[in-house]
Amino acid sequence: MIRIKKIGIPRALLYYYYYPLWYEFFTRLGCEVVLSPETNKAILDQGIKSTLSEVCLPVKVYFGHVAYLAGRVDYLFVPRITRVEAKEYICPKFMGIPDMLKARINKLPPLIDTTVDAGKEGNPVQCWVDCLRDAGNSLTADRKLIEDALEAALQAQQFFWKRLNSGLMLPDAIKGIAIPEIPVNSSSKPLRIGLIGHPYNVYDPFISMNLIKKLQQLGAVVVTPESLQADEIEKEAASLPKRMFWTLGKRMVGSAFRFFSSQKLDGVIYLTSFGCGPEALVEELVARTAKHQNMPLMMLTIDEHTGEAGINTRLEAFTEMIVWRLKYANHIPPYGESVHCR
Amino acid sequence: MDLFLGIDVGSVSTNLVVIDPEGEMYLSPLYLRTQGQPIKAVQQGLSLLNERLTKKDRICGVGTTGSARALAGVLVGADLVKNEITSHAVAALHAVPGVQTVLEIGGQDSKIIIIKDGIVVDFAMNTVCAAGTGSFLDQQASRLNLSIEDFGDIALRATNPVRIAGRCTVFAESDMIHKQQMGYSLPDIVAGLCEALVRNYLNNIGKGLEIRPPVVFQGGVAANAGMREAFKKALQTEIIVPQHFDVMGAYGVALLARDHILEHGEKTQFRGFGVTNQQFQNSSFICQGCPNACEVIEIKQDESLLARWGDRCGRWTASKAETSA
């Protein structure tokens, strides 16, 4: 009897962008996909132990997920992602991930580290076709099977993107469940908060300290860049005097500009991870534009600390500030001589 | 008299303020050291207040703020639990109605609040780094064998403040030692240190913000004349230090509690001054439910559970009544 091959996929980094594609492909090839559990303290601790201090938190978390999977699977899928769009790059840390893993983690199962490179003219779909085809060739000699699996995988990914664009939050879209009812917790109009940040930070409840849930508990409706169309983001990002050549950084800038100009939001929160190189630049661009457009913006920087008090204070203060602004913007000030004399 | 109480439990100090319905200080405010024991500090503060109040005085509303606001809120039965930013802004607006910028430096954190037409429009707090807060000044004062109370006045005697690297307080410290060994005068070094901290504050926390007068400087560090002078020099504007600069958080939350009660016409949840004599047990345990291994904090009063928090998933928090009424 042929044993089914187990392919490990870390629930981290670009999992949040491409999981449906990967899952469908390997499953169609007849493999069993093993996804690591949601990030927890043990995974983070393991990740911190096995990386160098230089890398950002999400990469540390990725290492933790790899270490978790290492003894449990036959192969690990850790593609070497360099370019997914023409003339743009993914963060250099992502490109080097297969090498960093080999250098830092002992007893790794064989890595499937085929390259994703859209090249100079390449398109965002073909680069994945190339990568997965190479990956498939290392697992089976059945060409037909690979091509069929590819087709199904691309369809699954398209379906996922469509669900995101329809306004479904990423965790729901990735699971493929039905649209949940948005809880309305009071009669008052809820705040609409745009939440910008890399999906691997925003949607990892451990890394983000349940940011989305916290905002919802404070009475806010959370809108994320995933609900935007790719060309909307592209158009906004193109307004920069010089082209942003980091794909993910461009997503942040484009989404932020879109959020600012749409005027449907009451405020924007930008979640960044400490030690992110591209973000150091992008953050500043976003902050300046927010100020120019008079949009309330709060930067939240996350790192390894687990104390939630600091985050809570900032979220409370930020939402309160917005309520305050909305309530009194065109009226008398709530504090000061005019109101308090009785 | 109907009175309102504000309690600010911070990392270094615990402050209590009692105001009348007009928002004026009814008693002189209390400024106590927390010394790592927030429960004790709150109890001590309440018992001191109780001694000063007369039979006719009634606490009609209580608010808590500061990093231990949730804990304090449970202990006293707060009507309102508010974050420090809002509390500080409200107090500053009350003390200096036209204020546009609030600089606040406390024991472990520092913040800046930008106000326009009486509303908060922007704020920032120190991020990962705690450089340039009161604790650092405290440490350096003791390293120089000075009492923190004298520190500011010594800075004022400087004729030529030395330049000290203010980017990081660890660097600042080694730079300062170097300057001492070179033979610079004490006042010049102390003043240089104040300027370095102010530079650091403005570059980090005040980054990209428009600081417009009137500027109010509050928090414990505002007591330091050297820091006031350094801010004045850096911002080229008058620095207003309100009379009750060191208890502004408590003052603000007292005002907010008053408004909350008056607006909603509610009866206070205040548990009374008996809290002073009650025994509270705080303990923590590590939840074994999942690999997150959250540290859950538990507050009991005479063996009955008052509150629990600290768990990420809410399984323990949910097992008792809401902490903040």
Instruction: With CB atoms and an 8 Å threshold, state whether A321 touches B291.
Output: no
Contacting residues of B for A311, CB less than 8 Å apart = none
CA B99, CA A208: separation in Å to the nearest integer?
Answer: 34
Chain A hits for B2, CB-CB cut-off 8 Å, are none
When scoring A266, A313, A339, A341 by the number of chain B Cβ atoms within 10 A, the one with the most, hence best to mutate, is: A313
Instruction: Count Cα atoms within 13 angstroms, Cβ side, for B45.
Output: 29
Q: What is the pLDDT of residue B322?
A: 42
Beta bridge partners of B113: B102, B123
- CA dist B204 to A278, B129, B178, Å? 19, 10, 24
Q: Residue B175 in contact with residue B167, Cβ under 8 Å?
A: no
Of B104, B135, B107, the closest CA to residue B218 belongs to: B104
For A129-154, what is each residue's pLDDT tens digit? 999 999 999 999 999 999 999 999 99
Q: Where are the domains of chain A?
A: 6-165, 186-328
Which of A213, A283, A335, A341 best tests the B interface by mutation, with the highest count of B CBs <10 A?
A: A335
CA-CA distances (angstroms) from residue A234 to A115, A244, A257, B67? 24, 10, 10, 42
Distance CA B190, CA B171 (A): 15
> Across the interface, do A324 and B120 touch by the CB < 8 Å criterion?
yes
User: Over 50: is that where the pLDDT of A210 sits?
Assistant: yes
Top CATH class, A186-328 = alpha beta
Q: Is the pLDDT of residue A340 over 90?
A: no
Chain B residue numbers touching A336 (CB-CB < 8 A): 93-94, 97-98, 118
Beta-carbon contacts below 8 Å between A and B:
87
Residue A336 confidence (pLDDT): 42
Q: Which helix (H) or strand (E) holds B278?
A: none
Q: Which of A42-51, A222-231, A238-247, B305-314 has the lowest mean pLDDT?
A: B305-314
SS3 B56: coil
Taking 80 as the threshold, does the pLDDT of residue B97 lie above it?
yes
Q: Closest-CA residue in chain B for A319?
A: B86
pLDDT of residue A173: 86
The verdict on whether omega for the bond into residue A296 sits within 30 degrees of 0, i.e. cis, is no
Report whether B292 contacts B315 (CB < 8 A): no
What is the structure's pLDDT at B308? 80
Which residues on A lie below 8 Å from B85 (Cβ)?
A: 313, 317, 320-321
Type and span of the H or E element at B49: helix B38-52
Q: Which amino acid type is present at position B306?
A: L
| Cα Rg of chain A (Å, integer) | 22
Give the mean model confidence (pLDDT) for residues B303-308: 79
Q: What is the mean pLDDT of residues A67-73?
A: 94
Which of B21, B125, B208 is the closest to A314 by Cβ?
Answer: B125
B251 touches chain A (CB under 8 A): no
- Say yes or no for a CB contact (<8 Å) between B97 and A206: no
Per residue in A97-126, pLDDT (tens digit) is 999 999 998 889 999 999 999 887 777 888
Other CB atoms within a 10 A radius of the CB of residue B207 amount to: 12
Q: Who among B118, B121, B128 is closest to A335 (CB)?
A: B118
| Helix, strand, or coil (residue B78) | coil
Q: What is the pLDDT of residue A313?
A: 86
The percent of residues in chain B predicted with pLDDT above 90, rounded, is 44
Judged by CB atoms closer than 8 Å, whether chains meet at A342 and B21 is answered as yes
Across the interface, of A313, A328, A329, the residue whose CB is closest to B83 is A313
**Cα separation, B50 vs B114, whole angstroms:** 36
Min Cα distance A324 → chain B (Å) is: 7
Chain A residue with the nearest C-alpha to that of B126 = A310
User: Predicted confidence band at B321 (pLDDT cuts at 50, 70, 90)?
Assistant: very low
Phi, psi of B217, rounded to the nearest 5 degrees: -115, 120
- The CA angle B23-B15-B138, to the nearest 5 degrees, is 130
Window 174-213 of B: residues touching A by CB (8 A cutoff) are 208
Closest CA to B161 of B144, B145, B139, B184: B184
- In A, minimum Cα distance to B256 occurs at A335
Closest chain A residue by Cα to residue B71? A309
CATH topology of domain B2-89+249-277: Nucleotidyltransferase; domain 5 (3.30.420)
Nearest-CA distance B254 → chain A (Å): 13
Could you tell me which chain B residue has the CA closest to the CA of A44?
A: B292
A305:B127 CB<8 A: no
Cα–Cα distance measured from residue B19 to residue B255, given in angstroms and rounded to the nearest whole number: 8
For residue A195, the cross-strand partners are A269
In contact, B138 and B220? CB cutoff 8 Å: no
Which chain A residue's Cα is nearest to B205? A299
pTM for the model stands at: 0.83
φ and ψ at B115, to 5 degrees?
-120, 140
Contact indicator for B258, B61 with CB cutoff of 8 Å: yes
What percentage of chain A has pLDDT greater than the value 70? 90
Q: Which residue has the higher pLDDT, A151 or B204?
A: A151
Mean pLDDT of A239-257: 90
Please give the torsion angle defined by the CA atoms of residues A90, A91, A97 and A100, in that order, rounded to the nearest 10 degrees. 150
Q: B98-241, which class in CATH?
A: alpha beta
CB A10 within 8 A of CB A36: yes
What integer pLDDT is reported at residue B128 of this predicted model?
A: 54
**What integer pLDDT is reported at residue A102 of this predicted model?**
92
Query: Between chains, do B84 and A313 touch, taking CB under 8 Å as contact?
Result: yes
Comparing alpha-carbon positions, the chain B residue that sits nearest to A205 is B312
Q: How confident is the model at residue B169 (pLDDT cuts 50, 70, 90)?
A: confident
Chain B residues whose CB is inside 8 A of the A42 CB are 291-293
B98-155: pLDDT as tens digits: 999 999 998 777 899 999 888 888 898 876 555 667 777 888 888 888 888 888 899 9
Supply the DSSP string of B223-245, one letter for each residue.
Answer: G-HHHHHHHHHHHTS-EE--TTG
DSSP A246: B
| Per-residue model confidence (pLDDT) at position A338 | 33
B121–chain A Cβ distance below 8 A for any pair: yes
Residue of A nearest to B108 (CA): A310
Rg of chain B's alpha carbons, rounded to an integer?
A: 21
pLDDT digits (tens, 9 = 90+) for B247-264: 999 999 999 999 999 888
A313/B125 touch (CB, cutoff 8 Å), yes or no:
yes
CA distance A40 to chain B (A): 5
Tell me the sheet residues that pair with A301.
A272
B90 touching A, CB under 8 A? yes
Which of the pair, B172 or A26, is modelled with greater confidence? A26
Using a CB-CB cut-off of 8 Å, the residues of chain A touching B21 are 342
Which class is domain A6-165? Answer: alpha beta
Mean pLDDT on A159-183: 76
Q: Where are the domains of chain B?
A: 2-89+249-277, 98-241, 280-319
Query: How close B78 comes to chain A (CA, Å)?
Result: 17
Q: Is B2-89+249-277's fold the same as B98-241's? A: yes
Q: Which candidate in B2, B11, B81, B128 is best for mutational testing of the A interface (most A CBs within 10 A)?
A: B128
Measured between alpha carbons, how far is residue B226 from residues B44, B138, B153, B165 in Å?
32, 13, 6, 17
Reference A277, options A53, A14, A55; nearest CA is A55
Cβ-nearest to A317 among B85, B121, B290: B85
Q: Does B219 have pLDDT greater than 50?
A: yes
Report the range out of A142-156, A281-295, B35-49 with the highest average pLDDT: A142-156
Q: Do B312 and A316 touch (CB under 8 A)?
A: no
For testing contact with chain A, the best of B119, B133, B295 (most A CBs within 10 A): B119
Identify which of A274, A312, A324 has the shortest CB distance to residue B119.
A324
| Mean predicted confidence (pLDDT) in A6-11 | 95
B58-65 β-sheet, strand order:
B30-33, B13-19, B2-9, B58-65, B80-81
Residue B278 touches chain A, beta carbons under 8 Å: no
ipTM score assigned to the predicted complex: 0.80
The pLDDT value recorded for residue B323 is 40
Closest approach of B294 to chain A, Cα-based (Å): 9
